[in-house]
Amino acid sequence: MMDNRQIMTRVEEILASMTLEEKAAQMVQVPYAFAGREESLRWAKMGAGSFLHVLGDDAREIQRAAIEQSRLGIPVIFGIDAIHGHGLNDHATIFPTQLAAACSWNTEVARIMGEVTAREVATDGLHWTFSPVLCLGRDTRWGRVNETFGEDPYLAGEMGAAIVRGYQGEDMSDDEHILACAKHYIGYGEAVGARDSCDTEMTYRKLREIFLPPFKKAVDAGVGSIMTAYGSIDGTPFTIDPVTMKDILRGELGFDGFVVTDWDNVNSLVRRQHVCETTEEACVLAANAGNDMIMTSTEFYQAVLSAVRDGQVKEETLDDAVRHILTVKLRMNLFEKPEKTGRPGCFGCEEHLQHAKDAADKSLVLLGNNGVLPLREAKKIAVIGPNADDVRAQYGDWTYFTHPKLNLEHEPVRPYVTVKEGMEAACAARGMTCAYHRGCSVLDGEYEDIAGAVETARDADAIVLVVGDVIAQVGEEKDRAVLELSGRQMALFDAMRALGVPLVTVLVASKPLAVGRAAAQADAFICAFNGGMFGGEAVAKAVFGEINPCGRLAISFPRASGQVPVYYNQLPGWHCQQGKGYCDLPEGPLYAFGEGMGYSAFAYSDLTFDRETLMAGVKVTNMGERTGTETVQVYFNDVVSSVLTPVKQLIAFKQVELAPGESAVVEFALSREDFSLINRKEERVTEPGGFELMIGHSSREQDLLKTSFRL
C-alpha cells in the first residue's frame, strides 16, 4: 500500500494527465438501473467516476469497460444502498435496521454489522455503501426514522463511528472492506412537519450543537465520503450551502474524503426547490459549493464543461473535486485491484447469520412485563396479528423488496424467521401447541377476520399479538401524520384483551408508533422494530426467556401523534417546565429514551464524582435471579447557561454484565468538553458554573442518581 505522500504524488500525476472532459466525467455518478446497460457502458468509456445501483456481473462489465476502454483506465467506484446489510442483493445477510440496532446500545453490534455488510458488498464486486445515516430521528412522523440511530446525537455518533470502522476496516485497502458514506449532511430529519426533504427550521448554532456531532465522530473515525441532504437551511439548500459544505465540513472537521450529492440533488435545485432557473445554473452552484461527485444528474457533465469555458467555474474547482475522488480510490487500492474479491461463499454464511441473530437478540427492547414473561406454564399459545408472519414488514425499508424499484412481489428468500415461525419452533421444542391467525391487515380494507382470530385465541394460555406498520408506510416520501396503529389493529387488540387471556403485544414496526393501550393494557410489551432475518426468532427467545432482553430505547415513544416530537433532550421553557406537556395528555413520553427492562432488575447506589479528575462512578447490582446486561447511562445538565441547554443530555454509557446478586462499580472518565455547549458565537465552550450529573438506568428522572458540582 502507498503511504499518504505517495498517494498525493500519484493523484497529482493522474490529474495532470486528465483533460477537462475527463475531470468532468470523473465527477459524474451514473444511475445504472435508469440509464440502462448501453448508456452506462458509454459513460464508462468516457471515464465516469462512479455508478450506483448495479450488482455483480453487470458491475464487472462496467468496470472492464472503464479500465480497458476509457483513455486513462481510471477504475470506477460502485455505490449501493447497503443500509442494514447488503439487502438489495436477495442472498445477503439482513440485519436489524439502524434504529433497531441502536437499541442494543452496543457499538460492537454496529461495528460487526458494518464488517459483515462490507464483506458481502465487496464479494458482489462493489466498493461503497451509502451508509450510515447520521440524521436524528427526533420528529418521528418522518418516514426515514428507521434509518437513523435514534434521537440522540451522542448515541448516534457512537454507533455511527463504530459502523464506519466496521465498513472501512483499518484503511479500506483490503479485499473485505469498503467505503462508508455518512449521510445526509445535514439536518435532513429535521424538516418542517417531518415532511421528507422539506425546509429545515434550523440555525447554525443549533446545527452545531445537535446535528453536527455525529458527523464529527464519523469524520474522526475516517469516513471516506459524505452525502449531502435534500433539505435547506434558512433558504439555502444544503447541497449548495458554503457554510456547511466548506467552512464546517472541510475547514473545521477536517474532512478529506469526497462529497457526493444525494439523488438528483442538482436538478432538484431547479425542479423542486426553485432556486435556479436552469440546470446549468444549478451545476455552477453545486460545483462551486464543493460537491465532488454528482449523483444521477448526468446533465452536470455538459453543463460544467460550458461553465468552465465561460469562466463561471474555475478548472481548479474541478481539480479539487477530482483530487478528492482519486485520493479515495487510491486509498482503496482500486488502481491495483479494481475489483475487490470479498470472501467467496460468504453470503448468508453461518458466521454472518450468527451475527444477524446476535444483533436481533441484542436489539430487542422489553418495555412492559407484569410477570407474564417469560412464559412457562402453557399448553397452547396463540400467535395473532398482521405482522406476526410478514417478512416484508419485519425487514422494513431498503431490501430487495423495496429498492431501487418497488418490488414487493419478490419472493422472500430463506433463511429468515418471522415471529410466527419462531414461536412455532419454540413451542414445538417445549411440547406446546402454537396456533396462528392474522386477524387483520395493517392497512385498512385489505383483510379482516377478527372473529376468526378470537376463535383461534379463545382457549389459548397466552396470546402473542404482533402489530406494527408495513412498507407502504415507511421510507422516502412516506411520512405519517397519524402514528396511531393503522387499520383495524386496535380493534384486534381489544378483541384479544377481552378474552382475558395473558396477552403479550409485540411491535414490529419501522419506528415508535403511538401504541397507546395496545402496550399499556397488555401484560407485556416488546418493541422489536425491524429485526432483520432473525427478528422473529429473537422475539420467541425473549418470550420464553431463552435470552434475557437487554435492549434500551434509542428513541422515545409518544403517547399520541400530537405529542411528537417527544425526544428526551428538550430545551427548558417557561410553561413547559418539568416535562409539562399538553393539557389533554399525561406528562412525558409513553416510553422514554434509554428505557428497557429484562428479567433481572438492577439497583444503583454510591454515585461518586471527582471534580478534579472528572471521574464518575456508580455501583450497579443485579437484584434478579438471572445474569443480565445493564446499560449504565450518564447524563448532565448545565444548570445556568448563556443559551438554553437541554434538561438533560447523554454524554456517556457503558454496558456491564452481572450475575445474580453481583455488583460492579462502573466508572467513566469524563472531560470538560463533555459539559460544553455551543454559545451564541457558535463556539463550543464549557461555561463555568453549576452542573448536575445524572447516572442511571434510563433518561427518566426516577431512574437517575444525581450529584451537583461546579466547574
Contact residues for ligand BGC (CB under 6 A)?
81, 130, 183, 262-263, 476
Cβ distance 224 to 257 under 8 Å? yes
Nearer to ligand BGC, 89 or 418 (CB): 89
| Nearest residue to the partner ligand BGC, using Cβ | 130
Cβ distance 138 to 189 under 8 Å? yes
Nearer to ligand BGC, 300 or 416 (CB): 300
Helix, coil or strand: residue 566: coil
SS (H, E, C) 455-517: HHHCCCCEEEEEEECCHHHCCCCCCCCCCECCCCHHHHHHHHHHCCCCEEEEEECCCCCECCH
Please, what is the Cα angle at 103 between 102 and 105, to 5 degrees? 70
Cβ distance 651 to 672 under 8 Å? no
Q: Which H/E stretch holds residue 527? A: strand 524-527
Q: Give the bridge partners for 365, in sequence order.
A: 527
* Own/partner pairs, 405-409, CB within 8 angstroms, 24+ separation: 405/33, 408/471
Nearer to ligand BGC, 262 or 424 (CB): 262
Q: How far is the CB of 83 from ligand BGC (least distance, A)?
A: 8
Nearer to ligand BGC, 81 or 152 (CB): 81
Q: How far is the CB of 223 from ligand BGC (least distance, A)?
A: 14
The residue to which cell 498525493 is assigned:
8
The residue to which cell 468532468 is assigned:
24
Cell of residue 391, nine digits: 417478512
Nearest one of 588, 580, 577, 617 to 705, comparing CA atoms: 617
Nearer to ligand BGC, 102 or 434 (CB): 102
Q: How far is the CB of 115 from ligand BGC (least distance, A)?
A: 20
d(CA 250, CA 257): 9
Cβ distance 148 to 210 under 8 Å? no
| Cα dihedral sign, 610-611-613-615 | positive
| Cα dihedral sign, 317-321-326-328 | positive
| Cα dihedral sign, 211-703-675-101 | negative
d(CA 655, CA 104): 10
d(CA 200, CA 238): 10
Q: How far is the CB of 141 from ligand BGC (least distance, A)?
A: 17
Nearer to ligand BGC, 52 or 632 (CB): 52
DSSP 544: T
Nearer to ligand BGC, 183 or 420 (CB): 183
Q: How far is the CB of 125 from ligand BGC (least distance, A)?
A: 18
Q: How far is the CB of 403 from ligand BGC (least distance, A)?
A: 7
| Cα dihedral sign, 180-472-512-206 | positive
DSSP 557: B
Q: How far is the CB of 144 from ligand BGC (least distance, A)?
A: 8
Q: How far is the CB of 53 from ligand BGC (least distance, A)?
A: 7
Nearer to ligand BGC, 262 or 448 (CB): 262
Nearer to ligand BGC, 81 or 124 (CB): 81
Please, what is the Cα angle at 283 between 183 and 43, to 5 degrees? 80
Nearer to ligand BGC, 369 or 530 (CB): 530
Q: How far is the CB of 80 from ligand BGC (least distance, A)?
A: 8
Nearer to ligand BGC, 263 or 335 (CB): 263
Q: How far is the CB of 472 from ligand BGC (least distance, A)?
A: 17
Nearer to ligand BGC, 285 or 295 (CB): 295
Please return the burial class of 680, using the count of CB atoms within 10 Å of its CB with bins 0-12, 13-18 and 19+.
Answer: exposed
Residue 235: count of CB within 10 angstroms of its CB = 9
Q: How far is the CB of 487 from ligand BGC (least distance, A)?
A: 28
Nearer to ligand BGC, 262 or 630 (CB): 262
The residue to which cell 412492559 is assigned:
368
Q: How far is the CB of 73 from ligand BGC (least distance, A)?
A: 27
Nearest one of 224, 226, 228, 312 to 264, comparing CA atoms: 228
Pairing verdict, β 684-685 and 677-678: antiparallel
Q: How far is the CB of 230 from ligand BGC (least distance, A)?
A: 7
Q: How far is the CB of 561 from ligand BGC (least distance, A)?
A: 24
Nearer to ligand BGC, 197 or 563 (CB): 197
Q: How far is the CB of 477 from ligand BGC (least distance, A)?
A: 9
Nearer to ligand BGC, 90 or 209 (CB): 90
